[in-house]
Amino acid sequence: MAANPAKFIREVRQEVGKVTWPTRKETLVSTAMVFTLAFIAALFFMLVDGVMQWGIRLILGLGN
């Protein structure tokens, strides 16, 4: 199968023309949501880790 570089470039340009790029506002909102949810997840896992640590120390008798 022979490749035609000019045809390939035309097809790539057609496909890129179909792409809908996000607006600046959409990008900022999405970025803020990612940071917010990452922060919430970090808090959740920190809480779960603390509870598990407390439970294990209680079971093994390593607490004060």
The whole-number pLDDT of residue 64 equals 58
Range 4-20 average pLDDT? 91
Take residue 30 and report the two structure tokens written for it.
Answer: 């999405």
Give the per-residue pLDDT at 13. Answer: 92
C-alpha separations of 18 from 9, 10, 13, 14, 48 in Å: 15, 13, 9, 7, 45
What is the C-alpha separation between 41 and 16, in angstroms, rounded?
Answer: 35
Per residue in 18-50, pLDDT tens?
Answer: 999 899 999 999 999 999 999 999 999 999 999
d(CA 57, CA 11): 63
The predicted pLDDT at position 63 comes to 60
